Amino acid sequence: MSPLARRLPRELRHNVGRYLGLFLMVFLTVAFIGGFLDAARSVQLLLDDWRASSSREDYAFTTQFQASDEALDAASEAGGGSAIYENFYADVPLTVPGHDLGHEATVRLYKNRADIDKALYFDGRAPQTDDEIALDRLFMKNNSLSLGDVVEVGGRQLTIVGQCVLPDYEALVASNMDLMFDTITFTTSQVTPAAFDALAGSSTVWHYSALASKRDLSPKGRTDLESSVARALIDHETTLTELLDCDQNNAMTFVGDDVEGDSAMYEILGVLIIGISGFVFVVLTGASIEQESAVIGTLLASGYRKRELVRHYMAMPAIVGIAATVAGVIVGRLVVMDACSGMYYNSYSLPPFRAYFSLDVFLATTVLPVAMLLAITWLGIRRKLRATPLAFLRHEVGSKSATASASLPEHWGFVSRFRLRVFLRNASHFVVLFLGIAVCTLVALYAMCFMPLVQHVGSQMRDSVVAGHLYTLKAPLEIDVTDDQLAVGHALDLRSTSTTPTGLSTEELAAIMLFSLEDDGPGLPSGHLPNGYRNSEEALAQAEKFSATTLQADRLYSDSKESVTVYGVDEDSRYWDVDVSDGRICVGRGLAAKCGTGTGKVLQLYDKFADKTYALSISDEVGDETDMGVYMSREAFAKTFDDLTDADPQWFCGYASDEPLQLTQAYVAGETTPDDMLKVVDQLETSMGSVMGFVMLLVVPFSAVVIFLLTKTVIDRSSTAIAYMKVFGYHDREVDRLYIRSITITVVASLVACIPLIVWALNWVFLIGMGSYQGNYPLWIQPITYLETIGLEFAAYAVVALLNMRRIRKVRLSEALKAQE
């Protein structure tokens, strides 16, 4: 053991604040980041296991009407022997008798599953009788429902007997077009087949889930297979309304993408913080070396090698770094991981949590931080110990940079010059301080701006819903109808919802009805279906038809594709404020930003169902930064998408209306109201609120520790000068004014100066981080958020300033009286 090593315990006692600070910095980082990464990786592995054990579907499709056995057999054959299972569902309103949920709720009913997408029960069991139901765990939690509670679904009272999760709904995404999952107003469920038949009625969605015979197909191989399946179905006169690969199904990819994105962000954050910590280690050890330069000079003059001194000065940082990492790993694994996994369990419908051991996470949270810390510290110490023995003996190490020796204008006041000298002397500390503050402020600002941003985007999205109600239809449905047409429409509605066996499929019935409308009966000139309900003259006068189709576009900052709705609207539309005359095509500014398109550019849109690509020349950008639509005239729409419209300029598939419309429900694909957009806000507030709290929990103490360590060193380095000043007759408060104010000015300047840098970085974080999410989320920060963030960081500093003032008071006069050679 080197004789120098004997001073290490004394060094620790003497500088306990410094080493405690270093310990806390590394400990907090490893515990929080490591705990989070452990949780994230466990969730990923858990999902992988669950996907295998639950026979999660490889792809799924939805048909307009129930597919015939022949069509399904053909599809199965075209799909290389895919096993295709009926997985019909129906969305039905759910209420709780005697209990106001505070919002409308929809339950997606499924029959108890046995072969595919098998449910996993957290608690309870699968329904066994027709008056039982099993609901999603998270929905039950968010709505304070328990086993044994009674809910009313489609007018029938059902008792909750199971709390389950479905593997095809890891995230409760009701529609793949939804911007966000919804764990508050939407739930999946299982009921007995008989209960399903009784409850679903006309709302049944003919949904089929499939397992490919080769489950290890590449995404490309699976896409090809699914195209073959689609063609086979179309060949058998089955109209597909949706075809979704599991990798394109947001309900199944949302969690994975989220965990992956979060992990990448936390990894970057961890590397940044550990890097900053490394520089703090260097600065503090460098300060020790400066303080002990005479001793170092003596040791070098006595024959000590520099590498022996490097080893000596590395010892404490290494001990502290390793101890903090070990403690961080233990606390991270035992405490933080559960808290972090809880964040995911607040958002997603996952199977019960189980901690997995992952070697790469273990290495990333133990070996990597220690290696980074030691490497940075080693390089810093080696650099600091480069000086000659004589330079050490003469105290000529470290503090005499060119800037520190700069001449300052003599006409400046003494106090200004003194404060600037404090800054110049400690410039290297303040650079690290700036970086530390910048990273902490970045994280704090991110956490602070997230919820206001979500609310802002939510309100923009609400405003972007151009009418009080946007109805999308499965087929053109005329609402301006005569009494005769109304009667036909009503009959058609009854036929389509009838449970009376007719021997004919609903699709066949519809075809017959259409035929009768065109040739014999009181048909519509357009050949469109008549509505089965009467709407008022006022409603009819303001309702406006539109066309729409959903295609895909390449995202600028992600390999994935954005679902884009192309609208065909009236040229003189009362709802859409876009100029689509003369074949002009406009894009929303959000889409332009997200997909790198805009005025004068060509937007490529891909129809995955028809394997067709459209190239649209963009004339203008419209709307705000969340507008993700493409707009053209209905006529242009009909021509462009003639496969869909048969080039019929009268074709449409939706109504925009400020007044609610009564429509034949069997032909309504969906309804959107402005308030639907606020669900995104509610959901994000529910699921992300705790994440942001967690982030603040890390960043505030970390900021305080970084600022404390670096500013304390400034005081420590100046302790002799402070002692001189006290001897000369300076009061403590006067010393404070010189030193604390210099530091305060630097901290405030750092806080303010780093904001533009942070905003720039956050822009990239949002572009890349949110790049794989549906929709555009431009960075938007309220001015008050800047003030709040700076205020929070400053509050952390204020505590540190008080500690530093206390430290200045503790500088003893005898410090000035020590012989200094």
Partner 1 sequence: MTTSDYVRIDHLRKAYGHGDSQVEVLHDISVGIARGEVCVLFGPSGSGKSTFLNLLGGLEPADSGTITVAGTDLTALSDRDLVEYRRRELGFVFQFYNLVPDLTIRENIEVTAHLSAEPLPVDDLLHRLGLWEHRSKFPNQVSGGQQQRCAIGRALVKRPGLLLCDEPTGALDYKTSKEILCLLEDVNRSYGCTMVIVTHNDAIRHMSHHILRLRDGQLVEDERNPHVVPAAQIEW
- Binding footprint of partner 1 on the chain (CB under 8 A): 394-396, 399-400, 404-405, 407, 410, 414-415, 417-418, 421, 424-425, 720-721, 724-731, 813-814, 816-817, 819-821
533 vs 724, beta carbon nearer partner 1: 724
Give the nearest distance from C-beta 728 to partner 1 in angstroms: 5
Give the nearest distance from C-beta 718 to partner 1 in angstroms: 9
Q: Cα angle at 104 between 690 and 206, to 5 degrees?
A: 100
207 vs 726, beta carbon nearer partner 1: 726
Give the nearest distance from C-beta 716 to partner 1 in angstroms: 15
Angle between helix 732-769 and 250-291 (nearest 10): 150
Give the nearest distance from C-beta 711 to partner 1 in angstroms: 17
129 vs 403, beta carbon nearer partner 1: 403
Q: Say how far apart CA 449 and CA 720 lie, in whole Å.
A: 44
Give the nearest distance from C-beta 802 to partner 1 in angstroms: 20
Give the nearest distance from C-beta 681 to partner 1 in angstroms: 54
417 vs 639, beta carbon nearer partner 1: 417
- Other Cβ atoms less than 10 A from the Cβ of 282: the count is 22
175 vs 720, beta carbon nearer partner 1: 720
Give the nearest distance from C-beta 407 to partner 1 in angstroms: 5
Give the nearest distance from C-beta 731 to partner 1 in angstroms: 5
First to last CA, the chain: 31
728 vs 756, beta carbon nearer partner 1: 728
395 vs 561, beta carbon nearer partner 1: 395
Q: Say how far apart CA 579 and CA 632 lie, in whole Å.
A: 8
Phi, psi of 662 (to 5 degrees): -95, 120
16 vs 813, beta carbon nearer partner 1: 813
Of 242, 736, 670, 735, the closest CA to residue 472 belongs to 670
394 vs 561, beta carbon nearer partner 1: 394
The tokens for 240 are: 């597909």
572 vs 821, beta carbon nearer partner 1: 821
579: DSSP letter: -
469: DSSP letter: E
Torsion of CA 8, 12, 18, 22, to 10 degrees: 70
The tokens for 428 are: 């290297």
Side-chain half-sphere CA neighbours of 744 within 13 A: 16
Q: Say how far apart CA 227 and CA 244 lie, in whole Å.
A: 11
Give the nearest distance from C-beta 301 to partner 1 in angstroms: 20
Give the nearest distance from C-beta 814 to partner 1 in angstroms: 7
Give the nearest distance from C-beta 424 to partner 1 in angstroms: 7
Query: CB–CB of 444/699 below 8 Å?
Result: yes
Reduce the secondary structure of 106-130 to three states and give it as a string: EEEEEECCCCCCCCEEEEECCCCCC
Of 458, 779, 776, the closest CA to residue 594 belongs to 776
Give the nearest distance from C-beta 821 to partner 1 in angstroms: 6
Of 779, 41, 772, 774, the closest CA to residue 344 belongs to 41
Q: Say how far apart CA 194 and CA 262 lie, in whole Å.
A: 43
427 vs 504, beta carbon nearer partner 1: 427
Give the nearest distance from C-beta 421 to partner 1 in angstroms: 5
Phi, psi of 612 (to 5 degrees): -135, 145
Give the nearest distance from C-beta 2 to partner 1 in angstroms: 31
214 vs 421, beta carbon nearer partner 1: 421
Give bridge partners of residue 32 from the DSSP assignment.
none
394 vs 534, beta carbon nearer partner 1: 394
Cα–Cα distance list, 231 to 399, 447, 551, 610 (Å) = 76, 47, 18, 9
Give the nearest distance from C-beta 588 to partner 1 in angstroms: 58
Give the nearest distance from C-beta 285 to partner 1 in angstroms: 20
The tokens for 588 are: 């929303």
Give the nearest distance from C-beta 818 to partner 1 in angstroms: 9
Contacts 24+ apart (CB under 8 A), 287-292: 287/713, 287/716, 287/717, 288/11, 288/15, 288/313, 289/313, 289/381, 289/384, 289/385, 289/397, 289/398, 290/395, 290/397, 290/398, 290/399, 290/717, 291/716, 291/717
- Other Cβ atoms less than 10 A from the Cβ of 507: the count is 19
Q: Say how far apart CA 437 and CA 430 lie, in whole Å.
A: 10
| Helix/strand/coil for 105 | strand
121 vs 724, beta carbon nearer partner 1: 724
Reduce the secondary structure of 180-221 to three states and give it as a string: CCCCCCEEEEEECHHHHHHHHHHHCEEEEEEECCCCCCCHHH
Give the nearest distance from C-beta 707 to partner 1 in angstroms: 22
Q: Say how far apart CA 486 and CA 492 lie, in whole Å.
A: 10
Phi, psi of 67 (to 5 degrees): -75, 145
| Helix/strand/coil for 104 | coil
520 vs 821, beta carbon nearer partner 1: 821
Q: Say how far apart CA 513 and CA 492 lie, in whole Å.
A: 7
263 vs 746, beta carbon nearer partner 1: 746
Query: CB–CB of 36/328 below 8 Å?
Result: no
501 vs 728, beta carbon nearer partner 1: 728
383 vs 400, beta carbon nearer partner 1: 400
222: DSSP letter: H
